[in-house]
Amino acid sequence: MGSLDSLLNQQRVVCRLHAISKKRVLELAAQHIAEVEESLEVGQVYAGLLERERLGSTALGTGVAVPHCRVEGLDKPLGCLITLASPIDYDAPDGGAVDLLFVLLVPPEAAQEHLDLLAEVAGRFSDAAYCEALRKASSAAGLLQSAVTAKAA
């Protein structure tokens, strides 16, 4: 599962973010990504994530969501891993709150890669032990370490 690991770096990991709603967490995620990725604009990322959510919730269940969209001007896929300080309502299929998010942004022309990465993310985050290791992290460095070293089944 090396390709998923390559989407993350220390700057795109946020541990225990404070957010009270789905819209707010998407806004904060967009702000964070745009701060570390100079080629992206907050409004562009936020609008793309909101537009995708309007099609249907990107929550997978068991406290996990994978907001994703295609973004003009992006030359390769990138990810941002976020844990929340408190779970939020995310219109999840199981009715549960979300506290673990993996934001995935891909170039517009990367349709198949987008699908492949979504499948990889869903597979990794379907492992309860993997998710628990992420939830236990108390710092961004610890979260990144857990994300790339914990073994999904």
Query: For residues 53 and 43, what is the distance between their CA atoms, to the nearest angstrom?
Result: 15
Specify whether 68 is catalytic: yes
Instruction: Report which of 51, 82, 83 is spatially closest to residue 68, judged by C-alpha positions.
Output: 51
Q: How many angstroms separate the CA atoms of 124 and 118, rounded?
A: 10
| Distance from the Cα of residue 42 to its chain's centroid | 16
Catalytic residues: 68
